[in-house]
Amino acid sequence: MEQKELEEFSEKKDNLMKFFKDFLAKESLFKNKEVLQIKYIPDSIIHRSKQIENLASILAPALRREKPSNLFCYGKTGSGKTLCTIHTLNKLQTIAKEKQISLKTAYLNCKLKKIADTEYRVVAQLAGAIGTEVPITGLPTGEVYNIFLKKLDEKKQIIIIVLDEIDQLVNKIGDGVLYTLTRINPELKNAQVTLVGISNDVRFIENVDPRVKSSLGEEEIIFPPYNALELREILQSRAKLAFREGVITEGVLEKCSAYAALEHGDARRAIELLRVAGEIAEREHSLRIEEKHIDIAEAKIERLRILEIIETQPKQSQLVMCAILLILENKEGRIETGEVFEKYTELCKKQGTNILTQRRVSDLISELDTLGLINAKVISKGRYGRTREIYLTISKDILDKVKETLKKHLY
Partner DNA sequence: AGGTATTCACATGAAACTATTCTCTGAGTTAGG
Partner DNA sequence: TAACTCAGAGAATAGTTTCATGTGAATACCTGT
Among 5, 386, 393, 404, binds DNA (CB under 7 A): 386
Q: How many Å apart are CA 60 and CA 92, to the nearest integer? A: 8
Contact between 392 and 328 (Cβ < 8 Å): yes
DSSP 155: S
140 binding DNA? (CB under 7 A): yes
Q: How many Å apart are CA 267 and CA 82, to the nearest integer? A: 12
Closest distance of CB 341 from DNA, Å: 7
Beta strand pairing call for 158-164 and 192-199: parallel
Size of the residue set binding DNA (CB under 7 A): 43
Q: How many Å apart are CA 257 and CA 269, to the nearest integer? A: 9
Among 29, 78, 336, 394, binds DNA (CB under 7 A): 336
Closest distance of CB 113 from DNA, Å: 9
352 binding DNA? (CB under 7 A): no
357 binding DNA? (CB under 7 A): yes
Closest distance of CB 150 from DNA, Å: 16
Radius of gyration of the CA atoms of the chain, in A: 25
Q: Which of these ranges, 158-166, 192-200, 220-228, 336-344, lies near DNA under the rule CB under 7 A?
A: 336-344
155 binding DNA? (CB under 7 A): no
Closest distance of CB 308 from DNA, Å: 17
Contact between 107 and 164 (Cβ < 8 Å): yes
Q: Which of these ranges, 39-47, 234-242, 272-280, 335-343, lies near DNA under the rule CB under 7 A?
A: 335-343
Among 186, 210, 314, 352, binds DNA (CB under 7 A): 314
Scored b (16 or more CB within 10 A) or e, 222-232 reads ebebbebebbb
- Applying the rule CB under 7 A, the residues between 63 and 102 that interact with DNA are none
Contact between 383 and 328 (Cβ < 8 Å): no
Contact between 185 and 193 (Cβ < 8 Å): yes
372 binding DNA? (CB under 7 A): no
3-state DSSP call for residue 80? coil
The residues binding DNA (CB under 7 A) are 114, 118-121, 137-144, 172-173, 314, 316, 336-339, 354-360, 362-366, 378, 380-388
